């Protein structure tokens, strides 16, 4: 049986709208349930609860109970979840490039829009963007 592509594996873990927005909200640090609801406008409480449980099961988020009665927790990204920052930046850059009303990510010191480039640390060289026919994971 063939294994799933790396993209399929990622989508299974974090591939829906609310999940990625929750990860983005947690990049700033641990938050409580109500803080996450405020940080992700439009998310229903039941969806928020489902997504947090899913992210915990996938090892992307960890919860820490701070009250037993009523049960309340804070949520934080695990190291694995924090590793998603680069993927979120790439998606955000794509979103800004393909939307008229979104400001692109920019360098806070000089205001220049950021660009992402592939780089091989072993060869110490930039890697050009592949053509669609060249994309493969093996």
Q: What is the percentage of the chain residues whose pLDDT exceeds 90?
A: 47
**What confidence score (pLDDT) does residue 128 get?**
80
Backbone angles phi, psi at 72, to 5 degrees: -140, 145
**What confidence score (pLDDT) does residue 83 get?**
92
Taking residues 130-135, report their average pLDDT. Answer: 55
Q: Which pTM does this prediction carry? A: 0.76
Using omega within 30 degrees of 0 as the cis cutoff, is the peptide bond preceding 32 cis? no
Q: What is the mean pLDDT of the chain?
A: 86
Q: How confident is the model at residue 75 (pLDDT cuts 50, 70, 90)?
A: very high
* Residue bearing the bigger pLDDT, 74 or 101: 74
Concatenating the DSSP letter of every residue in the chain gives -PPPPHHHHHHHHH-SHHHHHHHHHHTTS-EEHHHHHHHSTT--HHHHHHHHHHHHHTTSEEEEEEEETTEEEEEEE-HHHHTTHHHHHHHHHHHHHT-SS-PPPB-TTT-PBP---EEETTTTEEEPPPPGGG----
Classify the C-alpha dihedral 92-98-101-107 as positive or negative: positive
Report all structural domains of the chain as residue ranges with CATH numbers, in order of start. 6-81 (1.10.10.10), 85-134 (no CATH)
Taking residues 18-22, report their average pLDDT. Answer: 92
**What confidence score (pLDDT) does residue 80 get?**
94
Total number of residues shown for the chain: 138
Is pLDDT above 90 for 74?
Answer: yes
Query: HSE on the CB side for 65, CA within 13 Å?
Result: 5
Is pLDDT above 60 for 136?
Answer: no
State the distance between the two ends of the chain, measured CA to CA, in whole angstroms. Answer: 15
**What confidence score (pLDDT) does residue 55 get?**
95
**What confidence score (pLDDT) does residue 118 get?**
79
């Amino acid at each position: 049986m063939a294994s799933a592509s790396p993209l399929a594996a990622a989508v299974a873990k974090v591939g829906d709208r609310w999940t990625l927005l929750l990860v983005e909200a947690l990049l700033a640090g641990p938050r409580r349930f109500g803080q996450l609801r405020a940080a992700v406008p439009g998310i229903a409480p039941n969806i928020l609860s489902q997504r947090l449980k899913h992210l915990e099961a996938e090892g992307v988020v960890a919860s820490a109970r701070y009250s037993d009665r009523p049960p309340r927790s804070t949520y934080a990204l695990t190291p694995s979840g924090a590793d998603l920052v680069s993927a979120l930046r790439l998606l955000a850059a794509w979103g800004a490039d393909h939307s008229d009303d979104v400001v692109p990510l920019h360098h806070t010191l000089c205001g220049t829009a950021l660009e992402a480039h592939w780089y091989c640390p072993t060869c110490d060289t930039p890697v050009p963007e592949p053509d669609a026919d060249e994309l493969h994971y093996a």
